[in-house]
Amino acid sequence: MSVPVLFAETQLQFIWIRATPEAKVIIIFLAVASIFVWGTMIAKSMQMRRARKLNLFFEKEFRAQKNVLGIFDRRLQVDGCPLFAVYNEGCIELDQRLKIKGEGGTEGRDKFVTLKSMEHIKRTLEGAVARESLKLESGLILLAIAVSGAPFLGLLGTVWGVMDTFAAVGRMGRADLPTMAPGVSAALVTTVAGLLVAIPSMFAYNYLVHSLRVRTVELDNFAQELVSKMETEYLREQ
């Protein structure tokens, strides 16, 4: 088992020694970029998974309550749950619209809100949905850049290395395998490095974009359901 490993390590060392300075810079840059890419993939996957679980939990609680403001009045907090964030902002706006001042400066709640107030609540919910969608989307641009940019960086290093190899062959005046093979192999390793960054990023990006679309649809549907319940309970009939 140790012989193939040592042979593989020797090959990599052989290629690295003969790589051009430009190729080494590109490989180091891609290696650093790979660390950030993998960190983003892991963090976003955990965020999407946590959001899905919390959404399921909150949705059950929401459907079980009798009054649309039931969870809000209990002052429950579900940090990291997109549905709760939308619900909480909508309920804060509804609560402000329902507040009335009684005798002695005490505050109470009116039974109904006007159609104009309900329109304000709808816009608040739309803004909350947009903000939560942007939170879930943040960081995906790094994966998109890695998918599209890493192969081109690798190709740049390969073309540069091949160009240097042919220039060296021209100066030496002979083109044989021992002369060209080390330079070409060292040049091709940058393309391999670029693909090693781009391929995992591509799969992760597609998976996360699909998860983002699902979460966004959940937010839109929930906001519509929430508005419908608020209108049923609190909208004054004209």
Give 175-206 as a DSSP string.
Answer: --HHHHHHHHHHHHHHHHHHHHHHHHHHHHHH
Asked if pLDDT for residue 6 goes beyond 50, the answer is no
Cα distances (Å, whole numbers) of residue 102 to 9, 25, 29, 94: 81, 72, 66, 18
- The rounded distance, in Å, linking the Cα atoms of 211 and 230 is 28
Look at the block and give the residue holding tokens 């699909």. Answer: 210
Tell me what the mean pLDDT of segment 88-110 comes to.
78
Q: In this predicted structure, what is the pLDDT of residue 160? A: 86
- The rounded distance, in Å, linking the Cα atoms of 206 and 213 is 11
Confidence tier at 101 by pLDDT (50, 70, 90): low
CA 217-219-220 angle, 5° bins:
65
How many angstroms separate the first and last alpha carbons of the chain?
83
CA 27-30-33 angle, 5° bins:
155
Confidence tier at 3 by pLDDT (50, 70, 90): very low
Percent of residues, the chain, with pLDDT higher than 70: 88
Tell me what the mean pLDDT of segment 85-101 comes to.
89
Q: In this predicted structure, what is the pLDDT of residue 163? A: 84
Domain edges within the chain? 11-234
Cα distances (Å, whole numbers) of residue 181 to 19, 161, 163, 177, 194: 12, 11, 13, 5, 21
Asked if pLDDT for residue 14 goes beyond 90, the answer is no
Q: In this predicted structure, what is the pLDDT of residue 201? A: 95
Asked if pLDDT for residue 176 goes beyond 70, the answer is no
Nearest residue to 87 via CA among 51, 134, 49, 125: 125
pTM of the entire predicted model: 0.81
Q: In this predicted structure, what is the pLDDT of residue 177? A: 65
Confidence tier at 113 by pLDDT (50, 70, 90): confident
User: Which tokens belong to 54?
Assistant: 């919390």
Q: In this predicted structure, what is the pLDDT of residue 145? A: 94
Query: What is the per-residue pLDDT across 143-170, written as a single tens digit (0 to 9) for each?
Result: 999 999 999 999 998 888 888 877 777 7
- The rounded distance, in Å, linking the Cα atoms of 188 and 23 is 9
Contact 18, 168 (CB under 8 A): no
Cα distances (Å, whole numbers) of residue 182 to 5, 20, 81, 216, 218: 20, 11, 54, 51, 55
Tell me what the mean pLDDT of segment 37-55 comes to.
94
Q: In this predicted structure, what is the pLDDT of residue 212? A: 95
